[in-house]
Structure 1
Amino acid sequence: MNLQIQEALRVLGKTAIVAGLGVWGAAMAQIRPETISSGLENPWGVAFLPGGRFVVTERPGRLRLIGADGKVGAPVAGLPAIAAGGQGGLLDVLADSGFEKNRTLYFCFSEPEAGGSGNSTALASTQLSADGARLENLRIIFSQQPKVASRNHFGCRIVESRDGTLFLTLGDRFSRKEDAQKLDNHLGKVVRIAKDGSAPKDNPFVGRAGALPEIWSYGHRNGQGATLAPDGRFWMTEHGPQGGDEINIAQAGRNYGWPVITYGENYGGGKIGDGLTAKDGMEQPLHYWVPSIAPSGMAFLASDRYGAAWKGNLFVGSLKFGYLDRIELKDGKVVAEHKLLADGRARIRDVKQGPDGLLYVLTDESDGKLLRLRPN
């Protein structure tokens, strides 16, 4: 690439894919994907452990430790029964902020109904044994109600807030979308709970008749990406129907509109409900995509490892088109998007910033990979 082209790209700040060479960049901050591990079966969530290790979930129902050298360990023993199938299985995982002292992990999964055909998203708390071979003291601290006979829309991203409470995204289960507008169930909601599973007293619907106290926000469809912003607010992505994928800042007590308002349409065409995109009392998305990109994991970049132009950017994985979306924000609005890893060959399921300030990505494939994105 000659110097004139390099300078033009620097000034424009645009993502570039040059002559099929796989060069991505803005302000000359280019990335080079490095495979840490492969052979993972549909990995869904990754968390960082001390010593450069990782813990990764595989959707069919396996939890694995990965060493700093990239070696993938045997499945960790001690998982509960999991309703793996369709979009369900073992999904997100989170290491507690005090992991070095308490060895606590949280994971969410599709929990089968005892004696029935239904299932729902559940959140478990457990300790990883000292040798990393098994889970100990496992407790289910939250179980979505009601159970539904469905293989779709589990949501299931976990985020620890600055005050130590846990946010969990919950899907509408596809067949029960109208319940996303009702407060007597957990379908199509974000819930906020303490680490023992109790509902914090300052949750917005505590004490309200007919409302479940765990609910933080409602009117969601299927949130599969979530993170804390630099200011501590809870951000999420959610899948729309055909079109209308969204980025939302989920705030206490707010109604995000599904299925009353949406920028999408029914699969195969046709409006949903009255075909509204706005209504009083319902929040507008911060950003939406038409057509859908099928957004999954998301993370803010707090480091300057890739140059100043990338610091503070939001990164969102696309399952449908197989790229990592670098999103520039200004005054709380999306002002530019740049497609990274844009060869479309791998579904991007999760993205996280590691303790080293670099970005890490999971690809959702039968031969899934854990990638480290190095500055080039």
Structure 2
Amino acid sequence: MRSILFSRIAPAAAAALICAAASAAGINAGERRADPDQPFVASPVASFTVPWAVAFLPDGRMLVTEKRGRLYLVTQRGEKREVAGVPKVVYQGQNGLLDVAPSPGFARDRTIYLSYVEPAKGGGGQLALARARLQEGGGDRLDGLAVIWRANGAASGGQPGGIIAFAPDGRHLFLTSGDRMAPDTAQDPDSAQGKVLRLLPDGGTPPDNPWVRAGGVRAQTWTLGHRNPYGLAFAPDGKLWLNEMGPRGGDELDLLRPGLNYGWPLVSKGINYNGTPIPDHDTRPDFAAPVVYWTPVIAPAGMAFYTGDLFPDWKGSAFIGGLRGETLVRIAFDGKGGADQAQRWDMGHRIRDVAVAADGALWVLEDGNDGRLLRLTPGG
């Protein structure tokens, strides 16, 4: 079994799989109905063609990616300027230009990070992470674009992952990598697919990663056994949370701990698309189970923690966009590693990403050919 290879590399990490794995029970929030009362007013600000991610810059402007390979600077009044110099992407199905994140020192270094599926020799594409300097004046553009990490193999399937999250101290960068519809790769220690990677800001390998002595992909792996991770964010208390799409059922919200294996495709809270069963987490206590899961699914996408003042009751909550559910979900946390869905609202559109502005407004990005950028403020 491929997952056992990690145990042979790092016995201490293997023991952690058993001792620190989450409860196999979890909480199923899938059948809960949406709250009929929305405590916010959603104001459309701008629209995009198949947008994917939104990220705030220190001055309050936003960067918005479109999956077809376009990047925009956007003001909170909806003024848009396209940024040139974006890398060529494979735009097909779930693949394309994905996440965008300013560096923790953006005010000083003007650096941004992009994840995307880049064309590969011989066909298909591979997940890549690049950084560049954002230049303004005389035409907005990216200068010095350089790929600092790429997956060690091409694939033709979707489910690329690609979410970028910086540690609170800015010293490490985390990147989600989906299984590209090849489930076995999630348990293959030498494949970057189905993993969460922990990197240095220049793409290098941190010396304290769980399997750093093994080299290669293993050295950069933080967690494994993931299917299609589209949400990754640090809570105010420093805990790292991830959401990922399950198969038929079994969307997950996971508390990430270094060295843990989250089980895909050997265990799941869902079943295969052809109707065949998948063993539950309670059959394999060596795999970490989700804290919350959704059956039926919501198809979770972008995630952000709320730290603003406009909605004081929401401080410390996480917000997750639902694609299939066309919902916005609020998650409440108990501070001890537990969580539950607190509220869910029907937005009437697939919600691709969520972000929080400095003034406390919640911003959501709709999916689709005319996906709107909405500002949510108290009311309703």
Q: Tell me if both proteins adopt one fold, taking TM over 0.5 as the criterion.
A: yes
8 A contact 2:60–2:357 mirrored in 1: no
For residue 238 of structure 2, the aligned residue among 224, 232, 235 is: 232
Partners of 1:44 and 1:211 in 2: CA distance: 27
Residue matched to 1:145: 152
Residue matched to 2:224: 218
Offset, 1:289: 0.6
8 A contact 2:97–2:116 mirrored in 1: yes
For residue 130 of structure 1, the aligned residue among 129, 132, 136 is: 136
Residue matched to 1:33: 42
Query: How many correspondences in the alignment?
Result: 344
Residue 348 (structure 2) pairs with residue 327 (structure 1): no
Partners of 1:211 and 1:199 in 2: CA distance: 10
Identity %: 41
Offset, 1:209: 6.5
Q: Which runs of 5+ in 2 are unaligned?
A: 1-32
Distance 1:33 1:210, change over 3 A: closer
Residue 194 (structure 2) pairs with residue 188 (structure 1): yes
TM-score (norm 1): 0.87
Residue matched to 2:89: 82
Residue matched to 1:306: 311
Offset, 1:277: 4.8
Residue matched to 2:99: 92
Q: Describe the superposition over 1:315-342 as per-residue Cα deviations: whole angstroms up to 9, x where unpaired.
A: 11100011101122224323443122x1
Residue 259 (structure 2) pairs with residue 253 (structure 1): yes
8 A contact 2:197–2:222 mirrored in 1: yes
For residue 168 of structure 2, the aligned residue among 162, 177, 182 is: 162
Residue 54 (structure 2) pairs with residue 46 (structure 1): yes
For residue 367 of structure 1, the aligned residue among 370, 374, 379 is: 370
* SS state at 2:184 partner: helix
Distance 1:303 1:323, change over 3 A: same
* SS state at 1:263 partner: coil
Partners of 2:264 and 2:340 in 1: CA distance: 25
8 A contact 2:61–2:73 mirrored in 1: yes
TM-score (norm 2): 0.86
Partners of 2:340 and 2:55 in 1: CA distance: 30
8 A contact 1:262–1:277 mirrored in 2: no
Residue matched to 1:173: 180
8 A contact 1:52–1:68 mirrored in 2: yes
For residue 359 of structure 2, the aligned residue among 356, 359, 365 is: 356
8 A contact 2:69–2:87 mirrored in 1: no
Offset, 1:15: 7.3
For residue 80 of structure 2, the aligned residue among 55, 72, 81 is: 72
Q: Which runs of 5+ in 1 are unaligned?
A: 1-13, 18-22, 25-29
8 A contact 2:281–2:287 mirrored in 1: no
Offset, 1:67: 2.2
Give the AA of the match of 1:288. Y
Offset, 1:100: 1.1
Give the AA of the match of 2:297. S
Over the residues paired in the alignment, what is the CA RMSD in angstroms?
1.8
Q: Describe the superposition over 1:280-303 as per-residue Cα deviations: whole angstroms up to 9, x where unpaired.
A: 321011111101110001111122
Q: Describe the superposition over 1:230-269 as per-residue Cα deviations: whole angstroms up to 9, x where unpaired.
A: 1112211000000000001221111000001101111141
Give the AA of the match of 1:329. F
Distance 1:53 1:211, change over 3 A: closer
For residue 269 of structure 1, the aligned residue among 264, 275, 285 is: 275
8 A contact 1:183–1:210 mirrored in 2: no
Partners of 2:189 and 2:78 in 1: CA distance: 44
Partners of 1:268 and 1:370 in 2: CA distance: 36
Offset, 1:353: 1.3
